[in-house]
Amino acid sequence: MKRIFYLIIIVLLAFPAKPQQVSDDIGRIIICAHIPDYENLPYESHNLLHTKLMQIITTNGIADNEYIVRFVLTAKINIISKDIVAGPPQRISQKIDITLMVGDIEADKVMSTLTITTVGIGQSDEKSFISAFKNINPNDKRITDFMRDAKEKIISYYSANCYDLIDSARKQYSIQNYEQALMVLTSVPDVCSECYRQSSELTERIYVDMINASGSKLLSQAQAIWSKSPDRQGAQEASKLLSKINFAASCHEHARLLMSDITEQMKKIDEREWEFKMKQYDDQVEKEKREWEQSVQEYKDRQARQKEKENREWEQSVQEYKDRQERQKALDAEQAAQRRMIISASRDVAIEYARNQPKTINYNRIYHW
């Protein structure tokens, strides 16, 4: 059960700016949408193109996470022609090549490309760009094929480089760079089953060590502050540090004991004010517990749904196999019956033909032979 807890809490806490998105993206291939500054697009059209890239990513079953940047989807804009159509109002018509590229930033390698030609018309350059970018359809077969090719190459990359990735994570882990190690490991998609299994196992150990190390450090700092300043200011600084200790850290009970000691001391100074702060601390702990339990339940629910889906797919496959077998048997029986009918009919024709032949026997010919 602890293994499940650790896996869930990794995702919940690793990137606090977008907890829901990261939680939903567990095990998925991650590609980041990016428009380089050198394209010099106007602000609104730049944002629209970036939104279109994010739609392409999510529509094709991929996670768009701006915090894990190795594989990116970007676009190169090339203006083929530009015409000014007389008005009023005057309009600008641009024929644009949009080259979509999925690349590996760390390896400096383009993995897949696709060029789409579109036309945009508007009363300004920006409106013309906006008109052109609106024509990008994330469900376009060319785009889905392009993204499928990129996904296959990314999966091949993880399959071929699994050992190097895990070894890199271990090196970061050895120098206590836990966050970097976790970022490398949690980027492995679950479609690479063996690599995902190995990275998940190492992820658990690294995360446990990370929260234990962080908790011990915070606890030591809090103890030093409280020992030096057993007063209101020292209590506030120490309790602030203690509240940052993860609920699952091995030193959490020691932190709670220290908080209780601080509480007893502070009651002598200002009981009502400190009880309010203690309640905030308790509420925070209870909140973490609820979030923890909710995350565990969500994980169990996902596992149950996945298991149910796999069972349905298996039963459907077995039934389809049985149906094919039955159809094949019926077809074979039908073909066998047809062959018997043809042979029987052929025999009847032969017998009828023989019955109608003359019965004269040429004995001279027999004698000759």
pLDDT in tens, 186-207: 888 877 888 888 888 888 888 8
Say if 123 falls within a structural domain: yes
- What span, in angstroms and rounded, lies between the C-alpha atoms of 14 and 203? 12
Say if 108 falls within a structural domain: yes
Say if 92 falls within a structural domain: yes
Provide the percentage of residues in the chain whose pLDDT is more than 70: 83
Print the domain residue range for 47.
28-186
pLDDT at 359: 56
pLDDT at 142: 94
Quickly state the pLDDT bin for 5 (edges 50, 70, 90).
Answer: very low
pLDDT at 317: 84
Structure tokens at 186: 């949690």
Among 125-134, 207-216, 232-241, 358-367, where is mean pLDDT lowest? 358-367
Structure tokens at 303: 């596992």
Structure tokens at 219: 């606890």
183 vs 216, more confident: 216
Long-range contacts of 7-10 (CB under 8 A, 24+ apart): 7/200, 7/203, 7/204, 7/299, 8/292, 8/295, 8/296, 8/298, 8/299, 9/207, 9/246, 9/248, 9/292, 9/295, 10/182, 10/186, 10/203, 10/204, 10/207
For 189, phi then psi, to 5°, come to -75, 150
pTM, two decimal places: 0.55
Say if 338 falls within a structural domain: no
Q: Is the per-residue pLDDT at 141 higher than 90?
A: yes
Specify whether the CB–CB gap between 52 and 136 falls below 8 A.
yes
pLDDT at 17: 36
Say if 239 falls within a structural domain: no
Q: Is the per-residue pLDDT at 107 higher than 90?
A: no
Structure tokens at 29: 């291939």
pLDDT at 155: 87
According to DSSP, residue 39 is labeled G
Say if 73 falls within a structural domain: yes
CATH number of the domain within which 177 lies? 3.30.160
The domain tally of the chain equals 1
Say if 178 falls within a structural domain: yes
Say if 276 falls within a structural domain: no
pLDDT in tens, 281-321: 888 888 888 888 888 888 788 878 888 887 888 888 888 88
